[in-house]
Amino acid sequence: MKLCLLFICVFTLTLSASSFAQQERVSLDLKNVSVKVLLDEIQKQTSWCFLFNPEQTKQLGKLSLRVENETVEEVLNRILKDTDLTFKFKNDLIMIVPKNEVEDDKSKKDIRIVGQVTDNKKLPLPGVTVIVKGLTIGTATDGNGRYALTLPKTEKLSLLFSFIGMKTREVAYTGKDTINVVMQEDSETLEDVIVTGYATIDRGSYVGAVTQIRAEDIQVAGEATIDQMLQGWVPGMSVINKTGKVGGSPKIRIRGTSTLLGNQEPLWVVDGVIQSDPLPIPDDASPLSSEMDGLRETASNAISWLNPADIETITVLKDASATAIYGTKATNGVIVITTKKAKGDGLNISYSGNFSVGMKPNYGMYDMMNSQEHMRFSQQLWEDRDSYNQNILPIGYAGLIQKLQKKEITRQQFEQEYRKMERMNTDWFDILFRNSFSHAHNVSISAQGEKVSSRFSVGINSTRGEAKGNDMTTLTASSNTTFRLDKRLIIDLQLNGSYRETEDFAFGVSPYEYAMNTARDIPAYHENGTLYYHEKAGATSFSIPNKFSYNYNILNERDNSGTETDGTNLQAALNLRLNLLKDLEFQATASYALATNKIKSWATENTHYITQIRGYEVGEVLPSSAEQYASVLPFGGLLQSEYAQTKNYSFRSSLVYNKMFNEDHRLTLNLGFQVNSVAQEGNASLRYGYLYYRGEKFATVPTEITAANGLHKNSRDLHDEMRAGTTITTTKNNTVSEYFTAVYGYKERYIMNFNARMDASNRFGQDENKKFNPSLSIGVKWRIGNEPFMAWASSWYDMFDISFSYGWRGNAVEAVSPYLIAKDGGLNKYFQQYTLKMVSLPYPDLGWEKTEDWNLGVDFSFFQGRMSAGLSWYNKISHVLASREVPIENGVANAYVDGTTMKNSGYELAVSVTPVRTKDFTWSLSFNTSKVRNTVRNNQRENTRDDYLNGTAIVSGEKYGTFYGFAFNGLDPANGRPTFKNMDIDVTENDLDYLVKIGCMEPDISGGLNTSLRYKRLVLRASFAMSFGAQALLPDFFATAGAPRPEQNAPRYLFKRWRKPGDEKITNIPSIPAGNPNEINIQLPVEGYVAMSPYTMYNQSDLRVADTDFIRCRQISLQYDLPDAWVNKIGVRRASVNASLANPFFVAFDKAWEGRDPETANWPARRTVSCSLTLNF
């Protein structure tokens, strides 16, 4: 008979004397209860624990007992009377055993077995249950992982070792008195609990759409933040990298977009503490605000401070049932991160480090012209008598033609210079880029004792990006300490700190764009090694007549401009758990976070950016000359800075009741209260006259400008720009919340979850009734696998669950205010009065955005977890704020109103299989995919033509991010210019009458594939991410009018352009346009005279759209665990080495990208080769 031993409880008290304990008295009044319930009640009133075999005690059936102040021995004699069972006292255990077993014990000598239990990292495991198979004796390991058993001698003996999160091991006794055991992690077991940030719940009792992964499974060497690593791992979550620059943050969407005006990113929670974006909402009053928006891509985000090496698990909550506990902040989903805590006993030290080398881009990746091809292309333009859209700059072939026509060079010299330029082939990628290098090091020290356990870690990550001048350094430190003051009170103290410094580019400097789009017949250096400057168009000079171009060299621009971002983050959290009663626990969490960010961007007077503002080159005019007095900025450059500080206070307390009734009913209740305050302060400054090389002082910006050389006076007012660019931002958001959760389970078959939360916010000051918003959800689950009628399949069947949830929650849009919002409009030169510019009208009816959704899920697992899958269908409807047209007399064209609906519906599928699992070889494979269908309805916004063309239009019945363009209708047979449909319709006020829908910027299908092969100590892993359903416009290479500029490179496909009548039958690439735009413009069918260049229309036509579908190999890695016998000799418990490739390749399904990365559309994702080392001491 299979013996199944069950512990009723863990050891709680140490007896001072066995005889005294046997006389402990109890009072009972129980009716029709099982043996387990009766013994459990005795346990509550005494210091005893019981050990018994449930199969043997079945004969007792249901028991009814009423006793008053009787000893434990008297009670046990009463219930075991007239049975073949008896009991015996051993240490602090009472064992219920058959009578014949007690007699056998007397005739046998005892044996003593000792040993230590560790994990695969050689860390001791306290609390491991050690049970003798076939006997009724067991124990648990102490704080050092050690155990000792005194057993009756028997011929065959085996020990069973079990521990949560570890695979149970059976070890046979072979006569040796010492048995040491190494336990392996059980990934299936680790996934049996769900961490929500408010509670840790058994997966079987949890209802909700959730995905939980271990951080160590998704680590990508060379990447600094966890958000980048999540791509391809979570069904229903789209992770799109917007740039390949160091420090870039991806765009994350969970189950689509749920708001138009509010924050669309998910909520991040670390160890139960909600994280805030460290940068406040940007103030668009600055004349350079768009420049700052681009810089924010590489600035800190909500979790950039967190070291990935300190993370244990990541849990993604998706539906209302999972996110309702977070209330109004969870509309976009929640990502919960749990950090590592102390493991083992004594002093444990671990080190992990990696070195990564990145591969710089090269021209072999793209279909761009080399210098020989570009010179031939330029020669064709001349031969075809195509002209440029402005005065030809003396660059490349165009410059040679100029010199030849002006007789500055002979024909022979022309040919010599032509051949020289043809062979130039400047490698801009090699000049501006490098093989990147990064290294990361993490050291953690942990110790665990009976009263205190602690883990402290420090980390450094230094990355030199592929582009010279793009670097990042991150320093992190964290401490996680647990105090067990007694058996009722546990206190956790967490401290985190980080510093991050990023160097980036500014004011139009983009090494990638320059390398891609600059002709390779232009040199970077003179033959003597000095920088070569070519002329580049800029603003018209008010100091020198007919001057509109200025010297340009990308290396000079890069070295004389830049951006520095410094971010500091400090966080502290205190968690308290107090057992008030056996089934009632009080929990409290208090946290404080302080994040500061400084962004500093500058351009010196030596840059082209400043030179065109000044109107002449440095030293080109005499001091105190009329030309100097005509300049608005004769000295210095530009400094733009931004400072932001975010303070986050939070306090949460709750009562948690957890009770099992009659072995069939389990109930968990959580009633809590939470307050949160986020205060953000920021300022931005714009200063001209910046003297970067003169101690960072400022030159005086002239207040009086005079005209020179018969030119008009420059009307640009830099003082007004500086005034408008200097702003202060102060915001405070306070929320008060009450929440309640209930989890009920009946016989582990039927589960119900209920979540309710009431949020109060100060965002709606004008309407007291709208300050409060309830969030509710209910979920039910049927665990079919636990039904008795499924017992026949128990040999191969693990789990089969069907769940359904429904709920709704709100969202407070911080970008919208119930009050009138205006910004500084500057000085009116006519009235000499400062003005205000209306930003938004007051909206006294401003309220919460509401989202409701339902989720239907099916989960199953077969063959001891070797095959499992989860499938979910969902429907999410959000009632959101949008804008609608209002009479212009109000000062604005649109106002914010409620009434727009966004619908997201779709499915998610995750499959995991382990086709092979043997002692030496294991192959596992997981795949996930999801699809979301997004629709916007009831929108009243007045969209402009530019809104339709750039994808910011909100159109009823269409997906969010849908963009429109012109319908290409072939090339004109006479001149090769592009023509378009719908240009001959009647005059219309609706732009959609002549525009056509050409794509959507948001993907609707995402997913990933991950596989792992283990052979003995070798592990090979590979992960892939995919995205389908989005489109984007291809890069522009046709100018509005005229040929591409002489300094501009071009793709090779321009050789296939239209050049003569009849070519329109074999190509759709237009001819090079004529130089006068007024002769070729096309009149749009709208009121008034609105004309556009056909080449601008061509760039925004359906012909220039490409699918961004891709499959990217995220990582390939090979890990080897060094033999313990080797590393133990040098005092190392465990060591492993790893080699990996990050982003080694991608597949773009649309060939129109010509080697470009469709995910980023320009700056490619970083490709690195890494070597890693992990040591455990």
**Residues in contact with 83: Cβ distance below 8 Å, sequence separation at least 6, in sequence order:** 59, 60
Residue with tokens 């007239």: 82
Give the tens place of pLDDT for each residue, 228-250.
Answer: 889 999 999 999 888 878 877 88
66/724 Cα distance (integer angstroms): 84
Q: Do residues 1018 and 1031 touch, judged by C-beta distance below 8 A? A: no
Check residues 290 and 1079 and name the one with the higher pLDDT: 1079
Sorting pLDDT into bands at 50, 70 and 90, what band is 104? low
How does pLDDT run across 871-887, given as a tens digit for each residue? 999 999 998 888 777 77
Which pLDDT score, from 0 to 100, does residue 105 have? 52
Continuous segment of H or E residues that includes residue 565: strand 561-581
Round to whole Å and give the CA distance between 926 and 727.
50
Q: What is the mean pLDDT of the chain?
A: 84
Average pLDDT over residues 1160-1169: 84
Give the pLDDT confidence score for residue 631 in this predicted structure: 95
> Which has the minimum average pLDDT: 52-56, 252-256, 656-660?
52-56
What mean pLDDT is predicted for residues 353-357? 93
**What are the DSSP E strand ranges found in 886-920?**
894-917
Tell me whether residue 76 is in a domain: yes
Range 908-916 average pLDDT: 93
The pLDDT, as a whole number, for residue 299 is 56
Lowest mean pLDDT of 62-71, 298-307, 1167-1176, name the range: 298-307
Least reliable range by pLDDT among 172-181, 808-817, 953-962, 973-982 = 808-817
pLDDT higher at 128 or 890? 128
- In this model, does residue 836 exceed pLDDT 90? no
pLDDT at 403: 87
Give the residue-averaged pLDDT of 432-460: 90
Counted domains in the chain? 1
**H or E segment to which residue 42 belongs:** helix 35-45
Q: Is residue 116 one of the residues assigned to a domain? A: yes
pLDDT at residue 17 in the model: 37
Q: Give backbone dihedrals phi and psi of 399, rounded to 5 degrees, phi first.
A: -70, -35
Burial label, 483 (beta-carbon count in 10 A; 0-12, 13-18, 19+): middle
CATH at 165: 2.60.40.10
**Band of the pLDDT at 103, cuts 50, 70, 90?**
low
Q: What is the DSSP string of 953-972?
A: ---TTS-TTEEEEE-EEEE-
Q: ∠ CA 867-873-874 to the nearest 5 degrees? A: 140
Is the pLDDT confidence value at 951 over 50? yes
Residue 9: predicted pLDDT: 33
- 727 within some domain: no
Q: Classify strands 110-119 and 181-183 as parallel, antiparallel or unpaired.
A: parallel
User: CA angle at residue 462 from 457 to 468, to 5 degrees?
Assistant: 170
Q: Is the pLDDT of residue 281 over 60?
A: no
CA distance 234 to 322: 15
Q: 90 falls in which pLDDT band (50, 70, 90)?
A: low
Dihedral over alpha carbons 384, 386, 391, 396 (to 10 degrees): -50
Instruction: Judge whether 221 lies within some domain.
Output: no
Which domain, by its residues, includes 100? 6-183
pLDDT of residue 11: 29
Residues 23-73: tens digit of each pLDDT: 678 888 777 777 877 887 887 777 676 767 666 777 777 788 888 888 888
Q: Which residues contact 376 (CB under 8 A, 6 or more apart)?
A: none
pLDDT tens track for 690-739? 999 999 999 999 999 999 888 999 989 999 889 888 888 888 888 888 99
Residue 677 lies in a domain: no
Q: Report d(CA 811, CA 808) in Å as an integer.
A: 10
* Contact predicate 685/644, CB 8 Å: no
Helix then strand count (H, E) for the chain reads 22, 57
Residue 8 scores a pLDDT above 60: no
So what's the pLDDT on residue 562?
A: 94
For the chain, the straight-line distance linking the first and the last C-alpha, in angstroms and rounded, comes to 44
> Within 10 Å of residue 326's Cβ, how many Cβ atoms?
27
Reported as a single tens digit per residue, the pLDDT across 1021-1045 is 999 999 999 999 998 888 776 677 7
Q: Is residue 54 part of a domain?
A: yes
pLDDT band at 145 (very low <50, low <70, confident <90, very high): confident
Q: What does the pLDDT read at residue 4?
A: 35
Read off the tokens for 222: 């060379």
The pLDDT assigned to 344 comes to 63
Residue 14 pLDDT grade (very low, low, confident, very high; cuts 50, 70, 90) = very low
Q: Which of 258, 253, 193 is nearest to 227 (CA)?
A: 253
Record the pTM: 0.79
Contact 881/817 with Cβ under 8 angstroms?
Answer: no
- The pLDDT score that the predictor gives to residue 246 is 81
Is residue 410 assigned to a domain?
no
Which region holds residue 680: left if phi is over 0, alpha if psi is between -120 and 50, else beta?
Answer: beta
Q: Tokens standing for 194?
A: 């769900």
pLDDT digits 0-9 by tens, 674-701: 998 989 899 999 999 999 999 999 999 9
Given a contact cutoff of 8 angstroms between Cβ atoms, the answer to whether 571 and 592 are in contact is yes
Cα 159 from Cα 167, distance rounded (Å): 14
Bridge pairing between strands 1105-1107 and 1031-1033? antiparallel
Sequence-ordered list of residues with C-beta below 8 angstroms from that of 1172, at least 6 positions apart, any chain = 221, 352, 353, 354, 355, 1137, 1138, 1139, 1140
| Cα separation, 942 vs 930, whole angstroms | 33
Q: What pLDDT, on the 0 to 100 scale, is given for residue 762?
A: 67
Whether residue 47 lies inside any domain: the answer is yes
